[in-house]
Chain A
Amino acid sequence: MSTTHPATTPPAPARALNASRTAATAARVLRQLGHDPRTIALMLLVPCVMLLLLRYVFDGSPRTFDSIGASLLGIFPLITMFLVTSIATLRERTSGTLERLLAMPLGKGDLIAGYALAFGALAVVQSALATGLTVLFLGLDVAGSPWLLLLVALLDALLGTALGLFVSAFAASEFQAVQFMPAVIFPQLLLCGLFTPRAAMHPVLEAVSDVLPMSYAVDGMNEVLRHTDMTTAFVRDVLIVAGSALLVLGLGAATLRRRTE
């Protein structure tokens, strides 16, 4: 049974997700957060406070608040989950727990799905609070169903988790990890149509914004804002955001190595 040159094994056969290991991982991530109530409070309250602030910044022009508020409902979960996931995964890498887990019978998919589930659950709460506040109390005038806003927000959170997981592989420290926020998120923020319609941008920038997933997150929110029923554009936007999230999650899985130098 001995191998020669090299002694490394052939890659393990692809394993389907193991539901109990995934659930155990999600529960563990939530338990870790449970010991950190301040982080939870910040994650849940900061978006609400920002939206409240925004409502009164645009006190004289409620139409502007409608548009920017709806966009931000999609952007907040993305940014929060990006930050939390990139730091959490980086910690997992630097503390040696990742090496330990990958030396145990844990599939990479189990780990990633566990993180996505745990942070997804938190994103649901965050988005529900933010959406509820803006629609019910801040008078956001949305033509479509607020549930669709929530759906897009959830997908945005998933995208944020995926991006965070992916960039954590390229960060050697927490300092670097937080710097990926401006590097990865800010360009998307500028180009997503939040400040000015994408069609009014320089053609080159418009083309760039066409390939950035956050653009579709914001477009999706605006579709719900303006149309009473689900439009084809909305379905397309949602599929693109979900597809990018899955793609980046896959890339993130590829950065988890069982064997490292």
Chain B
Amino acid sequence: MVNYSSRSSEDPAVHARDLTVVRGRRTVLHRLRFTVPRGRITGLLGPSGCGKSTLMRAVVGTQAKVTGTLDVLGAPAGHPLLRTRIGYVTQAPSVYDDLTVRQNLDYFAAVLDPGRAAADRRDDVERVLADVDLTSHAGALAGALSGGQRSRVSLAVALLGTPELLVLDEPTVGLDPVLRRDLWALFHDIAASRGATLLVSSHVMDEAERCHSLLLMRAGEILADGTPDALRARTGSDTVEAAFLHLVDEAAAADRTNAGGTEESRTEESRANADRTKESTR
């Protein structure tokens, strides 16, 4: 087990082959194959309900019914040794509303590394508070904060310790432009100065331009991957958004030709749409 961490840092942070996830009777991810390079920011982009969150939960090891190969930091996803090495932020802020910001962080810091000296833990808490710009709100109840502030508390929890991999599910949703810019600066700083790997999902395409590399998803499949430049060049588009739309149209056209617009495929599609609606209201 020890040799997991001693593996070459050239290995990708995440490596997936034939990654399939089934939820209920629906296959949410279809035999995905992708890698997430180390020390970089990888954006996971795609429309709501395309399977971004499920993919992230699989990487973190909280998703059931995962088959195929999924290696994270050299160990199979969900390995107990990974629990201290991955920081994970769910889409909805997962913090205790009836605790103050500092009490939340104190508790999660204690869970993360109870052996650490109390002073070190306190420093760590101060550092992450400053990282997400909430030092002035440290004594406020999390439940009394605004939506954007609560999601930053949730992000701060994931920054505790020094995670090698940060998995952030739509961390900038509902934030104002200034905060979004600051958080992206923080993400770049974390990748550059600590060599951490970030996997960040978003459905806002302008955030794609800020990533080192991209995974574009649609309906449970990886549509394309590569750097923003490469994607733009490949599709002859000016922006990643245009490139994405181009690829989506291409894929949709291919779907139509393959299925021939039969009754069956339409039912299939409407069922998929219904599932998607269900998922987004979940």
> Looking at chain B, what size class is its interface with the partner chain?
35 or more
Check B75 against A258 for contact (C-beta < 8 Å).
no
Check A7 against B68 for contact (C-beta < 8 Å).
yes
Minimum C-beta distance from B281 to chain A (A):
14
| Bound: A195/B70 CA distance, A | 59
Task: Let me know if A38 is at the binding interface, CB within 8 A.
Answer: no
Check A95 against B78 for contact (C-beta < 8 Å).
no
Check A24 against B64 for contact (C-beta < 8 Å).
no
Flag A122-154 by CB within 8 Å of B: 1 or 0 each.
Answer: 000000000000000000000000000000000
B99: chain A residues at CB < 8 Å are 28, 31-32, 35
Flag A230-261 by CB within 8 Å of B: 1 or 0 each.
Answer: 00000000000000000000000000011111
Flag A103-116 by CB within 8 Å of B: 1 or 0 each.
Answer: 11110001000000
Minimum C-beta distance from B4 to chain A (A):
6
| Bound: A5/B19 CA distance, A | 9
| Bound: A36/B141 CA distance, A | 12
Check A2 against B69 for contact (C-beta < 8 Å).
yes
Flag B57-82 by CB within 8 Å of A: 1 or 0 each.
Answer: 01011111111111100111111100
A110: chain B residues at CB < 8 Å are 111
Question: Known: A2-B15, A7-B76, A35-B98. Contact between A106 and B111, CB under 8 A?
Answer: yes
Check B94 against A100 for contact (C-beta < 8 Å).
yes
Task: Let me know if B48 is at the binding interface, CB within 8 A.
Answer: no
Question: Known: A12-B80, A97-B96. Contact between A1 and B4, CB under 8 A?
Answer: yes
Question: Known: A1-B75, A7-B19. Contact between A105 and B94, CB under 8 A?
Answer: no
For residue A12, which residue of chain B has the nearest CB? B80
Task: Let me know if A99 is at the binding interface, CB within 8 A.
Answer: yes
Task: Let me know if B235 is at the binding interface, CB within 8 A.
Answer: no
Check B76 against A100 for contact (C-beta < 8 Å).
no
| Bound: A260/B15 CA distance, A | 22
Task: Let me know if B110 is at the binding interface, CB within 8 A.
Answer: yes
Q: Chain A's interface: helix, strand, loop or mixed, by majority?
A: loop
Check B69 against A7 for contact (C-beta < 8 Å).
yes
Task: Let me know if B108 is at the binding interface, CB within 8 A.
Answer: yes
Check A35 against B69 for contact (C-beta < 8 Å).
no
Check A105 against B110 for contact (C-beta < 8 Å).
no
CB within 8 A of B76: which of A2, A257, A261?
A2
Question: Known: A28-B96, A103-B60, A103-B83. Contact between A3 and B76, CB under 8 A?
Answer: yes
Check A105 against B80 for contact (C-beta < 8 Å).
yes
For residue B64, which residue of chain A has the nearest CB? A259
Minimum C-beta distance from B111 to chain A (A):
5
Q: How many residues of A contact B (CB 8 A)?
A: 39
Check B141 against A35 for contact (C-beta < 8 Å).
yes
Check B111 against A260 for contact (C-beta < 8 Å).
no
Task: Let me know if B103 is at the binding interface, CB within 8 A.
Answer: yes
Check B94 against A1 for contact (C-beta < 8 Å).
no
User: Which parts of A9-34 form the interface with B (CB within 8 Å)?
Assistant: 9, 12-13, 18, 20-21, 24-25, 27-28, 31-32
A27: chain B residues at CB < 8 Å are 107
Check B78 against A8 for contact (C-beta < 8 Å).
yes
Check B98 against A32 for contact (C-beta < 8 Å).
yes
B97: chain A residues at CB < 8 Å are 95
Minimum C-beta distance from B59 to chain A (A):
10
Check A258 against B62 for contact (C-beta < 8 Å).
yes
10 of the cross-chain contacts (CB-CB < 8 Å) are: A7-B69, A9-B80, A21-B110, A96-B94, A97-B96, A100-B157, A104-B84, A110-B111, A257-B64, A261-B65
Shortest beta-carbon contacts, A-B, top 4: A96-B94, A20-B114, A24-B110, A12-B80
Further contacts, 17 of them, CB under 8 A, given A9-B77, A35-B99: A2-B17, A6-B68, A7-B68, A8-B66, A8-B78, A9-B76, A9-B80, A21-B110, A28-B99, A31-B107, A32-B99, A95-B94, A95-B96, A99-B94, A100-B108, A103-B61, A258-B78
Residues of B within 8 A of A (CB): 4, 7, 15, 17, 19, 23-24, 58, 60-71, 74-80, 83-84, 86, 88, 90, 92-99, 103, 107-108, 110-112, 114-115, 141, 157
